[in-house]
Amino acid sequence: MCKEIRRSILAFSVVFVLFILAVVISEGVNSRHILGTYPERISVAIPDVVSISKPSPEAFEFQTSKVATWLVRLFLSFAVPAFFLFSRLSAGIRAWAVKRTRRWVSMVVVYFSIYSFIEILIYFPVDLYTGFFRMHSYGLSNQTLLQWLVELVKGFLVNTTVTSLVIWVPFLIIKKSPKRWWLYLGLVTIPYLFIGSYVQPVVIDPIFNEYRQVEDVQLSHKIDSLIAKTPIENCQVLQVDKSRETNQMNAFMTGVFNTKRIVLWDTTINYLNNEEVLGVVAHEMGHYLMGHIWKSIVIGGLAGIIALYFVYRLSNWFIRKSNGKWGFTGLHDVAALPLIMLMINLLLFVSAPLSNAYSRSMEIEADRFELELTRNNFATATATVKMHQQSLAMPQPGFVYMLWNYDHPTYKSRVDFANDYRPWESGRPLKYGKFIKGQK
Residue 61 catalytic? no
**Do 342 and 119 touch, CB atoms closer than 8 A?**
no
| Domain locations along the chain | 3-210+290-435
Task: Provide the pLDDT for residue 1.
Answer: 66
Q: Which residues are annotated as a binding site?
A: 283, 287, 363
The binding site for Zn(2+) comprises: 283, 287, 363
Residues 6+ apart with CB under 8 A from 285: 226, 227, 230, 232, 235, 253, 262, 369, 370, 373
- From the candidates 276, 367, 370, 372, give the one annotated as an active-site residue: 367
Q: What is the pLDDT of residue 47?
A: 62
- Cβ neighbours around 91 below 10 Å, total: 21
pLDDT score at 197: 87
Mean pLDDT of 419-432: 93
* Integer CA distances (angstroms), 219 to 225, 242, 264, 289, in order: 10, 19, 12, 22
Name the band, by pLDDT with cuts 50, 70 and 90, for residue 125: very high
Sign of CA dihedral 227, 230, 234, 238: negative
Dihedral (Cα; 305, 309, 314, 320), 10-degree rounding: 130
How far is 179 from 238, CA to CA, in rounded Å?
46
Read off the pLDDT band of 42 (50, 70, 90).
Answer: low
205: annotated active-site residue: no
Run of H or E including 292: helix 292-322
Maximum distance among all Cα pairs of the chain, rounded to whole angstroms: 75
> What average pLDDT does the chain have?
93
SS (H, E, C) 360-423: HHHHHHHHHHHHHHHCCHHHHHHHHHHHHHHCCCCCCCCHHHHHHHCCCCCHHHHHHHHHHCCH
Coil, helix or strand at residue 215: coil
What is the model's pLDDT at position 333? 95
pLDDT at residue 378, rounded to an integer: 94
Of 71-75, 102-106, 396-400, 413-417, the poorest mean pLDDT is in: 102-106
Amino acid 46: pLDDT: 52
* Residues 51 and 37 sit within 8 Å (Cβ to Cβ): no
What percent of the chain clears pLDDT 90, i.e. is strictly above it?
81
Q: Which of 119, 245, 284, 333 does the annotation list as catalytic?
A: 284
Q: How far apart are CA 402 and CA 408, in angstroms?
A: 9
pLDDT, tens digit, 9 for 90 and up, residues 199-231? 888 888 898 889 999 999 999 999 999 999 999
More confident residue, 102 or 156: 156
- Of 83-87, 126-130, 197-201, 286-290, the least confident: 197-201
